[in-house]
Structure 1
Amino acid sequence: MSTLSGAEPRPAGAPRIIGIVWGLLVLNTLGSAGAKTIVPLPRSLIQMVTMGALVAAFTLALAVNLRLRIRPSAYVLLLTLLLVSSIISSAHLESGFGALFRCFRLTLFVGTLWLLTRWWNGGLTFVRHHIRMYFAVLGSVAAGLAVSPGAALPDLYGGRLVGALWPLTPPQIGQYAAVIIGLTVLLLLGRRTDKKSAAVIIVPSLVLLALTHTRTATLGLIVGLVLAIGSLLLTSAAARRFFSWTVVLAAVAAVGFASALQSWFLRGQSQENFSSLTGRAKVWDALLSAPRSTSEQLFGVGLGDKSFGGLPIDNSWLAVYNEQGLIGVTLVAVIIVVLGGVALLRPPSLQRACAIFLISYCAMASYTEAGLGDASPYLLHLALAASLLALPAEATVLSTPDVPRLAMPELPRQRVPRWARRSEAT
């Protein structure tokens, strides 16, 4: 399909194995906790698979980049500083030896990104790898829904779609669906794919997103696309037409399907439960009111499972504050600001629009989802944005060295006779 292959050339010298490396990074960030699957999978087995995928990704990236050729990247440099801060906070073992293991995992993740920076040149190659891999993940979700609808739509999650073959939660599925929908729409507007191929990606992903009832992913998709398409309005007629039609259709849907949209958005929750963000606010208040030493405020308690008091934090900023302290929060904020600032300074282009979509989506999701402080899909989305904002490597121009000229004696001027000058004149 042209959505996945397209005519976009691969970066100069980029081997095909780079796509495998990116896919292994995606597999590593799927996580090991989630819904019950049709065939019970031990958590230790899932962790072995995900961790093995990360080790394999680092090994393959190192194999194709043995000379350790890397490109400067402010994003990966900031991630490296966040890694150092995480190691300092985890060395106290307040979160147990699991914190050191998570630091080792983050080290391999950041190291793999450093090795991949060699092929970050502002092209769309990694966008296609991203779409391929997450569409394959969504394919497993769809297969689980077809095989066992009861396991894929369990009552434990209120009938929301989960992964029945691989333990994926509704927010995870919604995130993957929203990201590849947004990227595919932008590829379509940029004429890097055809309508048929785009529909193959967008339509099933929209169905799965609707079945997850994930508000964060839906709002992130809408806001991200509005900002991304808005950056193309002055240079793309297709973007202007799409934006106009979207506004019209949104107005019609808001009037004709207001009650249905409201019921879908509330998911049967009471007003009190909705206002407390499904109980998240109680965990946040408890985390902020807990006493902390100066060291814990600055560096946190070390990398953990993004929970407090046995309950998930579900907020990237508070999770980073708890585990990596104010220093970690500052570094994560600088990451978002730097990527957003670079995107705004770039001239309008499809690559810039894709980067704006990814950055804005991650910023939106950070309020109700954790993951900006550890190896996660959100850091992978931002890595993709960083690759899109990277400037193409300048071609080396081979210049011929200056060769000293031999000094030649000047010949005396010969005097031309008058009759010769008259003949030339005639």
Structure 2
Amino acid sequence: MAGDLMRGGPPGGPDAAGTRPGAGPRPAGPPKAVWIVWALLGLNTLGSAGAKTIVTLPRSLIQMATMGALVAAFALALLLNLHLRVRASAFVFLLTLLLVPSVISSLHLGVGPGALFRCTRLALFVGTLWLLSRWWDGGLTFVRHHIRMYFAVLVSVAAGLAISPGTAMPEYYGGRLVGALWPLTPPQIGQYSAVITGLTVLLLLGRRTTGAGAALVIVPTLVLLAMTHTRTATVGLLVGLVLAIGSLILTSAAARRFFAWTVLCATVAAVAFSSALRAWFLRGQSQENFSNLTGRAKVWDALLAAPRTTGEKVFGTGLGDKSFGGLPIDNSWLAVYNEQGLVGIAIVAAILLVLGGVALLRPPSLPRACAIFLISYVAISSYTEAGLGDASPYLLHLALAASLLVAPATAPAPAAAGPLPTPAPPRRRVPRWARDRKVT
């Protein structure tokens, strides 16, 4: 990345000193260590299971690295916020409530210690977000760091592809792109590519970065997205951008032009390359395999048909690895139902409804558009991806959306300096004829 996207601020540079006409001094931003905390949270959510890498990394070592990153993030955030100053956030409050069914279900002796370990991980994740909420001000600073963080992950994916193409595009994944240096699956790479592409497009439309800087991010990430053949990420990117840009159409001429050109190009591409797009979308699967979502529907039916006690229906069976019968669930709602029960589903639904409602009530702005993109992307991805009930990149995306929807703090009015002095009465002007008149 280059240009203003890396430096931050609008094209032309920030006016920190208020030297432009009408510009006031800008408030001090978060300390640089806050970005280290955010990056450590991202590292924790990368996961430890995935594709085979060039150098075999023991899963225990990866888990130590990811869990150590979370502990370090919490400790550093606590060090930066020793006075425990937090900002009221319905999002983080609801995440805290989600710990209740997680702990209740995980305390069952038959679940095992792994569930309690995952509860501890979720508690540290939520606690770190509480500590970071002090610096949530509705600005775009966290968006820029979110882009840089996941762009660095994609750079490692591209490096693995360059070093060992066979390992990066294995046959057991159908030739789809995976992480050859860190065990990343195609859906993960597709998710990161779609999110930073969408956010960078919005920054470009809002004139918060240059065209060259945006192209250095968008072009390679779209190539990686295409190589993953991830349909959910592609649909989430397109729908999220439509909704986000739609929220800017009435206030941004650039958004209107971009929307019109996108519709035109999409129509031409759909007509000219319909067969190629259909082949890419099907990924060589049969119509039957595509209709049951690559076998996901069978796992979902088995999960819903499994007998459960009343307690398991209400509070779930405890935090696990988002699988059922040894197969991945790949649906956030069913994964939450399985692990945190109906109470967990109600809390997760409330999180999305609250964020979406606040986004609709905010006046049109670039931060609001970025939040709408993130919320809509996560909502779409929740149908075929799990992660809304545990520490995951999806919760980190929603945390970013929550930081964008915070109302900026208004500057306090200057204190009165005391009663104003009483003005002196105006001096009466004496006419010249009166001054020249001799007093007898």
C-alpha contact 2:107 2:116 (8 A) present in aligned 1: yes
Q: What is aligned with 1:410?
A: none
- Are 1:76 and 2:92 counterparts? yes
Asked if structure 1 preserves the Cα contact closer than 8 Å seen for 2:40 and 2:69, the reply is yes
The Cα shift of 1:404 comes to 11
Matches within 5 A, 1:45-60: 45-60=61-76
Match of 2:227 in 1: 211
Amino acid in structure 2 at the alignment position of 1:323: E
Partner of 2:352: 336
In the other structure, the counterpart of 1:307 is 323
Distance in 2, Cα, partners of 1:174 & 1:386: 23
* Map of 2:6 onto structure 1: 4
Structure 1 residue 355 corresponds to structure 2 residue 355? no
Superposition deviation, residue 352 in structure 1: 0.3
Query: Equivalent residue of 1:302, what SS?
Result: coil
CA distance in 1, matches of 2:27, 2:411: 13
Task: Please give the secondary structure, in 1, of the residue aligned with 2:294.
Answer: coil
Aligned to 1:286: 302
Kindly state the Cα deviation for residue 92 of structure 1 after the two structures are TM-superposed.
1.1
**1:396: how far off?**
2.9
Please tell me the residue identity of whatever aligns with 1:399. Answer: A
Once residues 297 and 117 of structure 2 are traced to their aligned partners in structure 1, the CA distance between those partners, rounded to angstroms, is 29
AA paired with 1:6?
A: G
Partner of 1:275: 291
How many angstroms apart in 2 are the aligned matches of 1:236 and 1:370? 35
How far apart, CA to CA, are the structure 1 residues paired with 2:130 and 2:409?
16
Q: C-alpha separation between the residues in 1 aligned to 2:237 and 2:93? A: 28
1:354 alignment partner AA: C
Q: Which amino acid aligns with 1:79?
A: L
Question: In the aligned structure 1, how far is the partner of 2:413 from the partner of 2:176?
Answer: 57
- Measure, in 1, the Cα distance between the counterparts of 2:28 and 2:109: 45
Compute the displacement of 1:403 (Å).
5.8
Q: Are 1:125 and 2:141 counterparts?
A: yes
Instruction: Report deviation, 1:173.
Output: 0.2
Show the counterpart of 1:366.
Answer: 382
> How far apart are 1:7 and its partner, in Å?
1.5
Deviation of 1:227 (Å): 0.2
Distance 2:111 2:164 in 1: 38
User: Residue 101 of structure 2 contacts residue 316 of structure 2 at CA under 8 Å; is this kept in 1?
Assistant: no
98, 118, 122: which one pairs with 2:114?
A: 98
- The 5 A counterparts of 1:73-222 are 73-222=89-238
Deviates more, 1:172-181 or 1:84-93: 84-93
1:289-327 Cα shifts (integer Å, max 9, x gaps): 111111101100110000001100000000000000000
Matched, 1:42 2:58: yes
The whole-number CA distance in structure 2 between the counterparts of 1:423 and 1:331 is: 88
- Once residues 246 and 405 of structure 2 are traced to their aligned partners in structure 1, the CA distance between those partners, rounded to angstroms, is 17
What one-letter code is carried by the residue in structure 2 that aligns with 1:87? V
**Gapped regions of structure 1 (runs ≥ 5):** 407-415
Cα deviation for residue 88 of structure 1 reads 1.3
Paired with 2:324 and 2:27, the residues of 1 have a C-alpha distance of 44
**1:365-390 CA-partner distances (Å, limit 9, x unpaired):** 00000000000000000000000000
What's the CA shift for 1:395?
A: 2.3
What letter matches 1:338 in structure 2?
A: V
* Alpha-carbon separation, structure 2, partners of 1:423 and 1:377: 89
Conserved? CA contact 2:330–2:386, under 8 Å: yes
CA distance in structure 2 between the aligned counterparts of 1:77 and 1:12, rounded to whole angstroms: 27
Secondary structure of residue in 1 paired with 2:7: coil
Residue 39 of structure 2 aligns with which residue?
Answer: 23
TM-score for both structures, normalised by structure 1 = 0.94
**Aligned amino acid, residue 251 of structure 1:** T
Same amino acid, percent of matched pairs: 76
Q: Distance in 2 between matches of 1:330 and 1:41?
A: 38
Alpha-carbon distance, 1:85 to partner: 2.0
With over 3 angstroms needed to count, the CA separation of the structure-2 counterparts of 1:401 and 1:83, relative to structure 1, is: farther
Shift of 1:96: 1.1
TM-score, normalising length: structure 2? 0.91
Task: For residue 423 of structure 1, report the CA deviation from its aligned partner.
Answer: 4.8
Residues in 1 aligned to 2:29 and 2:153: alpha-carbon distance in whole angstroms: 28
Instruction: Tell me the amino acid that sits aligned with residue 304 of structure 2.
Output: L
- Which residue of structure 1 aligns with residue 262 of structure 2? 246
Distance 1:246 1:174 in 2: 21
Structure 2 unmatched runs, 5+:
15-25, 423-427
C-alpha distance in 1, partners of 2:162/2:29? 41
**Separation in 1, partners of 2:98, 2:417:** 46
